[in-house]
Chain A
């Protein structure tokens, strides 16, 4: 009987094992994420149905060998890293050939004896999430715009009503107590409407500011800024708010603070946001602001939770004795819409955009921002701005155009996009390197036509930034260039600033451009029945333009020759490079205003 009993137990175990295997198979099958199991040599051992669909290949064709590189480019290194660092899962994003973005999480699996038996990788399609984020941002911006008119009404009528009450009614009302109380109450109500309206207005402004900053639409007015001025501006803006709560504001500034390169108004805005938060979350004690310099030497690990490269910095800190921020909230503080809750009874105030704006501002100045905090003791928010910034400031127009172009032209997030900068100009290379590195873009650089050609043979950048003065430009003739092109010519102006002369040519999608055959480019880019082929040419006295005018006439274009931008409503503008030094942005905007067609493009001609 014991034999039977033992046999029964074995059956049960066998049944259990079969059940759990079935369960595992069912889980894998119905998992919406792709699942991949590879052995330590990288051979595929298991693939679930979701991954089959994601890759468009049946499992049978993939099992028992390494995953083909072209099928899921970039997955190899993620799995490799998980093998190397078995204690921690590895995360990364890869892009499939059809453009879908896949988030991969790989973890090494160990046997009971600690031997690594393989790597489990889950793959999730996050393309739609990216797209949804974009839509969400666009909707928020649109709604915010729509809020402005009703808001103007609310704030305006409240102010007007208060004034009428005060000036026209109060002098005439009887001295009866009840009437006086009613009037006082009305005044109070109107003030509340006004105050709430202004709060809402602030949120709308913040939202629009942030959207502009993120899209690179905001114009920065960079100059020499005495940070003491910005701090004083911020302090006076926050004074009444602090006074209402009975909080003293203190200020500690060393003498002779260095001047920093930046946008005075925006830096003050960052300080205002930090001070305003400090006051909002502090009920007793004080709010202090201090500034100073910070030197980080080579091989020195600074005592800050952000990466700061060696160099000299201007440091601004806002310290409060408020309720503090829980440690788990610290990493998220600078995210949009994040609200830290220190207790269940806390109600979030504001839209949660102030710190995200601070971060945008500080990062635009090449700096870093961070927070340290202790619950019930207080918080310190600090930012550091580099003092050894290059003598030539980032050229905003070119970078803004680039960002705008990248944001609109490709559904890919910036870190998936590659940019090839072809220029022999070290300053331009440095400028773009600095300006684009914060965007997490993949940046390729070429300083000559041949190098550019070699890179294009192996890479497919989303954007080619081509300096038309590139030596060896001939090497690009006949090449199929990336689907978009920025004709960017930079010249040093009298004030040492660089001026971007080029504009992105979005119409170029798919058109390969032989650089010297402008007329055929125009014809290709202009294959549009509705267009009446009007073309504004500026400064036609230059010999090259004269020649082109003739060629264009022969091809049924209607070149309008002018020295001014606003003589006609052209479809395209051709500018002589020397002329665009004047004010390219203005010429563009005027021409665009005259011609609401958004696809107006400007071609900049350079003699070469």
Chain B
């Protein structure tokens, strides 16, 4: 079965940027899923079971932290690798990312190459 990456950001530009950054994976049979809010992200995580989630933390209503925590507390989902995209390298963000069980976090603005490298590592695909 093909691998899946779920990309979550409520900022349309950033979502597009992330999707286009990861588009090269589609040629390797990877499916890219998009969500623009926390609820949608959680639903897609449950129905699609992605291998990797890039998750923005600053979203209204259901924040990325909450989504991450719910994924990690769900026995069926907690094998999903969650990479949080935090607003800035602030200590509280870092601590909170660890608290909610995130596998990793990348601070915004991010370098597209870093996103690609992380995805390669998690999915075990060399582009």
Contact = CB atoms under 8 A, between A and B. Distances in A.
Contact of A149 (B11, B20, B65, B111): B11
The B interface, classified by DSSP as helix, strand, loop or mixed, is helix
B112 A156 contact: yes
Interface of A: 145, 148-153, 155-157, 159-160, 163, 201, 205, 208, 212, 218-219, 585-586, 589-590, 593
B122 interface: no
Given A160-B21, A589-B96, A590-B99, A152 B110 contact: yes
A156 B17 contact: yes
B112 A148 contact: no
B95 A153 contact: no
Contacts of B112: 156, 159-160, 163
Nearest to B111: A159
B109 A160 contact: no
Contacts, number: 54
Nearest to A198: B109
B37 to A, nearest CB: 15
The A interface, classified by DSSP as helix, strand, loop or mixed, is helix
B123 to A, nearest CB: 20
Interface of B: 11, 13-14, 17, 20-21, 65, 87-88, 90-92, 95-96, 99, 108-113
Nearest to B17: A156
Contact of A148 (B20, B65, B109, B113): B109
A155 B99 contact: no
Contacts of A163: 112
A199 to B, nearest CB: 13
B108 A152 contact: yes
Contact of B109 (A156, A585, A589, A593): A156
A589 B92 contact: yes
Contacts of B95: 585-586, 589
Contacts of B96: 589, 593
A195 B38 CA distance: 33
Nearest to A205: B88
A272 to B, nearest CB: 16
Which of A156, A212, A219 has most B Cβ within 10 Å? A156
Contacts of B11: 149, 153
A219 B91 CA distance: 7
**What are the 9 A-B residue pairs with the smallest beta carbon separation, nearest first?**
A152-B109, A219-B91, A153-B13, A156-B17, A152-B108, A155-B109, A159-B112, A149-B11, A151-B109
A157 B99 contact: no
A81 B94 CA distance: 52
B91 to A, nearest CB: 4
A218 B91 CA distance: 8
Nearest to B69: A593
